[in-house]
Protein backbone atom coordinates (compact mmCIF):
# COMPACT_ATOMS: atom_id res chain seq x y z
CA UNK A 1 0.00 0.00 0.00
CA UNK A 2 1.19 3.58 -0.62
CA UNK A 3 2.78 5.47 2.26
CA UNK A 4 0.51 7.57 4.38
CA UNK A 5 1.13 11.18 3.23
CA UNK A 6 1.39 12.11 6.89
CA UNK A 7 4.21 9.62 7.62
CA UNK A 8 7.39 11.22 8.93
CA UNK A 9 9.57 11.21 5.79
CA UNK A 10 6.84 12.22 3.37
CA UNK A 11 5.48 14.92 5.67
CA UNK A 12 8.97 16.38 6.14
CA UNK A 13 9.61 16.42 2.38
CA UNK A 14 6.19 17.96 1.76
CA UNK A 15 6.87 20.74 4.27
CA UNK A 16 10.37 21.32 2.89
CA UNK A 17 9.17 21.47 -0.74
CA UNK A 18 6.24 23.74 0.07
CA UNK A 19 8.51 26.12 1.98
CA UNK A 20 10.63 26.42 -1.17
CA UNK A 21 7.66 27.24 -3.43
CA UNK A 22 7.41 23.80 -5.01
CA UNK A 23 3.93 22.57 -5.91
CA UNK A 24 3.03 19.31 -4.14
CA UNK A 25 0.13 16.85 -4.30
CA UNK A 26 -0.52 13.95 -1.94
CA UNK A 27 -2.21 10.67 -2.92
CA UNK A 28 -2.33 11.83 -6.54
CA UNK A 29 -3.66 9.17 -8.98
CA UNK A 30 -0.88 8.10 -11.34
CA UNK A 31 -3.49 7.35 -13.99
CA UNK A 32 -3.53 11.13 -14.55
CA UNK A 33 0.19 11.16 -15.33
CA UNK A 34 0.74 8.18 -17.63
CA UNK A 35 -0.24 7.51 -21.23
CA UNK A 36 -1.62 4.06 -20.29
CA UNK A 37 -4.07 5.93 -18.00
CA UNK A 38 -3.67 3.36 -15.24
CA UNK A 39 -1.99 3.31 -11.83
CA UNK A 40 -2.96 3.92 -8.23
CA UNK A 41 -2.09 6.92 -6.04
CA UNK A 42 1.37 8.27 -5.30
CA UNK A 43 2.15 9.18 -1.71
CA UNK A 44 3.62 12.53 -2.79
CA UNK A 45 4.15 14.20 -6.16
CA UNK A 46 6.44 17.20 -6.52
CA UNK A 47 6.35 19.62 -9.45
CA UNK A 48 9.53 21.75 -9.61
CA UNK A 49 9.20 24.40 -12.34
CA UNK A 50 12.86 25.48 -12.38
CA UNK A 51 16.17 23.64 -12.28
CA UNK A 52 16.91 25.52 -9.06
CA UNK A 53 13.83 23.99 -7.43
CA UNK A 54 14.75 20.55 -8.75
CA UNK A 55 18.17 21.00 -7.16
CA UNK A 56 16.47 21.94 -3.89
CA UNK A 57 14.59 18.64 -3.87
CA UNK A 58 17.63 16.53 -4.78
CA UNK A 59 19.80 18.20 -2.16
CA UNK A 60 17.30 17.63 0.67
CA UNK A 61 19.20 15.53 3.17
CA UNK A 62 16.35 13.11 3.86
CA UNK A 63 15.65 12.20 0.24
CA UNK A 64 17.87 9.12 0.35
CA UNK A 65 15.68 7.66 3.09
CA UNK A 66 12.54 7.84 0.94
CA UNK A 67 11.73 5.83 -2.15
CA UNK A 68 11.64 8.33 -5.01
CA UNK A 69 11.88 8.67 -8.78
CA UNK A 70 11.65 11.23 -11.57
CA UNK A 71 8.76 11.07 -14.06
CA UNK A 72 8.47 12.74 -17.44
CA UNK A 73 5.32 12.44 -19.53
CA UNK A 74 4.67 8.90 -18.31
CA UNK A 75 4.73 7.50 -21.84
CA UNK A 76 6.95 4.49 -21.16
CA UNK A 77 5.98 3.40 -17.64
CA UNK A 78 3.42 1.14 -16.00
CA UNK A 79 2.64 1.75 -12.32
CA UNK A 80 0.78 -0.79 -10.20
CA UNK A 81 -2.86 -0.47 -9.24
CA UNK A 82 -1.72 -0.06 -5.62
CA UNK A 83 0.23 3.05 -6.59
CA UNK A 84 3.73 4.23 -5.75
CA UNK A 85 5.00 3.93 -2.21
CA UNK A 86 7.12 7.09 -2.09
CA UNK A 87 7.72 10.45 -3.77
CA UNK A 88 7.63 11.18 -7.48
CA UNK A 89 9.29 14.26 -8.96
CA UNK A 90 7.18 15.16 -12.00
CA UNK A 91 8.85 17.27 -14.68
CA UNK A 92 6.23 17.18 -17.44
CA UNK A 93 4.23 20.37 -17.56
CA UNK A 94 6.54 22.12 -15.12
CA UNK A 95 10.24 22.01 -16.04
CA UNK A 96 9.54 22.63 -19.72
CA UNK A 97 11.37 25.72 -21.04
CA UNK A 98 12.44 25.52 -24.71
CA UNK A 99 14.75 28.09 -26.35
CA UNK A 100 16.49 28.33 -29.72
CA UNK A 101 19.51 30.30 -30.92
CA UNK A 102 21.51 29.84 -34.13
CA UNK A 103 20.15 26.35 -34.77
CA UNK A 104 20.76 25.17 -31.22
CA UNK A 105 17.76 24.25 -29.06
CA UNK A 106 17.99 24.00 -25.29
CA UNK A 107 15.04 22.15 -23.83
CA UNK A 108 14.38 21.39 -20.18
CA UNK A 109 13.67 17.77 -19.32
CA UNK A 110 9.90 18.15 -18.99
CA UNK A 111 9.38 19.69 -22.44
CA UNK A 112 7.40 17.45 -24.78
CA UNK A 113 9.08 16.25 -27.97
CA UNK A 114 6.10 17.59 -29.91
CA UNK A 115 6.69 21.08 -28.51
CA UNK A 116 10.40 20.98 -29.39
CA UNK A 117 9.48 19.82 -32.90
CA UNK A 118 7.00 22.68 -33.32
CA UNK A 119 9.66 25.21 -32.34
CA UNK A 120 12.08 23.62 -34.80
CA UNK A 121 9.48 23.96 -37.55
CA UNK A 122 8.84 27.61 -36.66
CA UNK A 123 12.58 28.34 -36.91
CA UNK A 124 13.09 26.34 -40.12
CA UNK A 125 15.23 23.66 -38.49
CA UNK A 126 15.27 20.02 -39.60
CA UNK A 127 16.09 16.88 -37.65
CA UNK A 128 13.16 16.58 -35.25
CA UNK A 129 10.60 15.39 -37.78
CA UNK A 130 10.75 11.61 -37.08
CA UNK A 131 10.49 12.23 -33.32
CA UNK A 132 7.69 14.79 -33.47
CA UNK A 133 4.88 12.31 -32.84
CA UNK A 134 6.42 10.47 -29.90
CA UNK A 135 4.30 11.32 -26.81
CA UNK A 136 7.23 11.70 -24.45
CA UNK A 137 9.34 14.36 -22.78
CA UNK A 138 12.81 15.38 -23.91
CA UNK A 139 14.28 13.99 -20.69
CA UNK A 140 12.64 10.61 -21.15
CA UNK A 141 13.67 10.61 -24.81
CA UNK A 142 17.32 11.11 -23.84
CA UNK A 143 17.07 8.50 -21.10
CA UNK A 144 15.86 5.83 -23.55
CA UNK A 145 17.41 7.22 -26.76
CA UNK A 146 13.91 7.45 -28.22
CA UNK A 147 13.54 6.98 -31.93
CA UNK A 148 11.14 6.44 -34.80
CA UNK A 149 11.24 6.09 -38.57
CA UNK A 150 15.03 5.94 -38.73
CA UNK A 151 15.66 8.95 -36.47
CA UNK A 152 16.93 8.78 -32.89
CA UNK A 153 17.91 11.25 -30.19
CA UNK A 154 21.55 10.30 -30.65
CA UNK A 155 21.43 11.89 -34.12
CA UNK A 156 20.67 15.39 -32.84
CA UNK A 157 21.77 15.64 -29.20
CA UNK A 158 25.04 17.45 -28.55
CA UNK A 159 24.98 17.39 -24.74
CA UNK A 160 22.79 16.59 -21.77
CA UNK A 161 22.92 18.48 -18.48
CA UNK A 162 22.27 16.35 -15.41
CA UNK A 163 21.92 16.77 -11.68
CA UNK A 164 23.66 14.14 -9.59
CA UNK A 165 22.49 12.84 -6.22
CA UNK A 166 24.11 15.82 -4.53
CA UNK A 167 22.27 18.33 -6.69
CA UNK A 168 25.40 19.22 -8.67
CA UNK A 169 24.96 20.26 -12.31
CA UNK A 170 27.13 18.68 -15.00
CA UNK A 171 26.99 18.89 -18.81
CA UNK A 172 27.80 15.58 -20.51
CA UNK A 173 28.88 15.70 -24.20
CA UNK A 174 27.34 13.40 -26.81
CA UNK A 175 30.40 11.14 -27.04
CA UNK A 176 29.96 10.19 -23.40
CA UNK A 177 26.21 9.53 -23.50
CA UNK A 178 26.56 5.85 -24.52
CA UNK A 179 23.47 5.96 -26.71
CA UNK A 180 22.33 2.57 -28.01
CA UNK A 181 19.04 1.00 -29.06
CA UNK A 182 16.63 2.33 -26.40
CA UNK A 183 19.44 2.78 -23.92
CA UNK A 184 21.93 5.36 -22.65
CA UNK A 185 24.39 5.98 -19.85
CA UNK A 186 21.55 7.32 -17.71
CA UNK A 187 19.81 4.01 -17.11
CA UNK A 188 20.57 3.02 -13.54
CA UNK A 189 23.05 5.88 -13.09
CA UNK A 190 21.10 7.88 -10.52
CA UNK A 191 21.72 11.09 -12.49
CA UNK A 192 18.66 13.24 -13.21
CA UNK A 193 18.38 14.74 -16.68
CA UNK A 194 17.69 18.47 -16.34
CA UNK A 195 18.25 19.83 -19.85
CA UNK A 196 19.12 18.68 -23.35
CA UNK A 197 20.98 20.59 -26.05
CA UNK A 198 20.12 19.76 -29.67
CA UNK A 199 21.82 20.93 -32.85
CA UNK A 200 19.68 21.09 -35.99
CA UNK A 201 20.20 22.19 -39.58
CA UNK A 202 18.44 24.82 -41.68
CA UNK A 203 15.84 23.70 -44.19
CA UNK A 204 12.73 24.95 -45.94
CA UNK A 205 9.76 25.15 -43.61
CA UNK A 206 7.55 23.62 -46.27
CA UNK A 207 9.83 20.56 -46.49
CA UNK A 208 9.90 20.19 -42.71
CA UNK A 209 6.10 20.52 -42.52
CA UNK A 210 5.65 17.92 -45.27
CA UNK A 211 7.93 15.47 -43.50
CA UNK A 212 6.12 15.94 -40.18
CA UNK A 213 2.75 15.42 -41.86
CA UNK A 214 4.05 12.29 -43.58
CA UNK A 215 5.26 10.77 -40.30
CA UNK A 216 2.00 11.78 -38.62
CA UNK A 217 -0.06 10.11 -41.34
CA UNK A 218 2.01 6.93 -41.05
CA UNK A 219 1.40 6.84 -37.31
CA UNK A 220 -2.34 7.30 -37.71
CA UNK A 221 -2.49 4.47 -40.25
CA UNK A 222 -0.32 1.99 -38.36
CA UNK A 223 -0.67 2.83 -34.67
CA UNK A 224 -3.71 2.75 -32.34
CA UNK A 225 -3.50 6.42 -31.41
CA UNK A 226 -7.18 6.52 -30.47
CA UNK A 227 -6.54 4.43 -27.34
CA UNK A 228 -4.31 4.96 -24.28
CA UNK A 229 -1.06 3.03 -24.65
CA UNK A 230 2.65 3.27 -23.96
CA UNK A 231 3.76 2.86 -27.56
CA UNK A 232 5.83 -0.20 -28.42
CA UNK A 233 5.76 -2.50 -25.42
CA UNK A 234 8.78 -4.61 -26.37
CA UNK A 235 12.26 -3.83 -27.63
CA UNK A 236 13.07 -4.92 -31.15
CA UNK A 237 14.59 -8.42 -31.07
CA UNK A 238 17.70 -9.09 -33.15
CA UNK A 239 16.94 -9.36 -36.88
CA UNK A 240 13.17 -9.27 -36.36
CA UNK A 241 10.24 -7.21 -35.11
CA UNK A 242 8.27 -7.78 -31.91
CA UNK A 243 4.98 -6.92 -33.61
CA UNK A 244 5.57 -9.45 -36.37
CA UNK A 245 6.34 -12.23 -33.89
CA UNK A 246 3.31 -11.40 -31.77
CA UNK A 247 1.03 -11.40 -34.81
CA UNK A 248 2.61 -14.64 -36.06
CA UNK A 249 1.65 -16.27 -32.76
CA UNK A 250 -2.00 -15.32 -33.28
CA UNK A 251 -2.09 -12.81 -30.45
CA UNK A 252 -3.47 -9.82 -32.33
CA UNK A 253 -6.72 -8.78 -30.66
CA UNK A 254 -6.18 -11.01 -27.62
CA UNK A 255 -7.35 -9.31 -24.43
CA UNK A 256 -7.20 -9.69 -20.68
CA UNK A 257 -9.73 -7.55 -18.85
CA UNK A 258 -9.67 -4.11 -20.45
CA UNK A 259 -6.21 -4.55 -21.98
CA UNK A 260 -5.86 -5.74 -25.55
CA UNK A 261 -3.17 -6.43 -28.14
CA UNK A 262 -3.91 -3.82 -30.78
CA UNK A 263 -5.63 -5.00 -33.95
CA UNK A 264 -3.78 -2.28 -35.81
CA UNK A 265 -0.26 -2.95 -34.54
CA UNK A 266 0.55 -6.08 -32.53
CA UNK A 267 3.50 -4.37 -30.86
CA UNK A 268 1.07 -2.16 -28.91
CA UNK A 269 -1.04 -3.03 -25.90
CA UNK A 270 -3.97 -0.66 -25.57
CA UNK A 271 -6.22 0.29 -22.68
CA UNK A 272 -9.37 -0.48 -24.61
CA UNK A 273 -11.91 -0.22 -21.83
CA UNK A 274 -11.10 0.47 -18.19
CA UNK A 275 -7.98 -1.68 -18.05
CA UNK A 276 -6.11 -2.09 -14.81
CA UNK A 277 -2.36 -2.20 -14.48
CA UNK A 278 -2.66 -5.86 -13.59
CA UNK A 279 -4.58 -6.54 -16.82
CA UNK A 280 -1.70 -5.03 -18.80
CA UNK A 281 0.97 -6.90 -16.82
CA UNK A 282 -0.86 -10.20 -17.28
CA UNK A 283 -1.15 -9.57 -21.01
CA UNK A 284 2.57 -8.73 -21.24
CA UNK A 285 3.36 -12.03 -19.50
CA UNK A 286 1.03 -13.95 -21.81
CA UNK A 287 2.66 -12.43 -24.90
CA UNK A 288 6.21 -13.14 -23.71
CA UNK A 289 5.39 -16.72 -22.74
CA UNK A 290 3.51 -17.49 -25.96
CA UNK A 291 6.14 -15.94 -28.25
CA UNK A 292 8.95 -17.74 -26.43
CA UNK A 293 7.19 -21.12 -26.52
CA UNK A 294 6.38 -20.82 -30.22
CA UNK A 295 9.47 -19.06 -31.61
CA UNK A 296 12.22 -19.37 -29.01
CA UNK A 297 12.51 -15.56 -28.85
CA UNK A 298 12.24 -14.01 -25.40
CA UNK A 299 10.87 -10.52 -25.86
CA UNK A 300 12.40 -7.82 -23.68
CA UNK A 301 9.99 -5.29 -22.24
CA UNK A 302 10.62 -1.68 -23.27
CA UNK A 303 7.99 -0.31 -20.90
CA UNK A 304 9.28 0.17 -17.36
CA UNK A 305 7.10 -1.74 -14.90
CA UNK A 306 7.16 -0.03 -11.50
CA UNK A 307 5.56 -1.82 -8.55
Active site residues: 182, 232, 302
Q: How far apart are CA 257 and CA 66, in angstroms?
A: 34
Q: How far apart are CA 25 and CA 87, in angstroms?
A: 10
Q: How far apart are CA 282 and CA 305, in angstroms?
A: 12
Backbone angles phi, psi at 22, to 5 degrees: -100, 125
Asked whether 302 and 187 are in contact (CB, 8 A), the reply is no
User: In 3-state terms, what secondary structure has residue 266?
Assistant: coil
Of the candidates 14, 91, 13, the one whose C-alpha atom is nearest the C-alpha of residue 50 is 91
Run of H or E including 134 = none
Asked whether 238 and 283 are in contact (CB, 8 A), the reply is no
User: In 3-state terms, what secondary structure has residue 252?
Assistant: coil
Amino acid sequence: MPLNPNSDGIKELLDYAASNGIKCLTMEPLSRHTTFKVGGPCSLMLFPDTIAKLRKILSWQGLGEIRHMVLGNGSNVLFSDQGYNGAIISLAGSLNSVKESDGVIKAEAGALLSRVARLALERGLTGMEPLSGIPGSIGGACYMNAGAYGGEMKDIVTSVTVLNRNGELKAIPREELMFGHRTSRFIGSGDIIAECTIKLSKAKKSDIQSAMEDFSNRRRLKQPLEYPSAGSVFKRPKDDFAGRLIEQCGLKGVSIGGAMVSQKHAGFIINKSGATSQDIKDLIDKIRTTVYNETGVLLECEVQIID
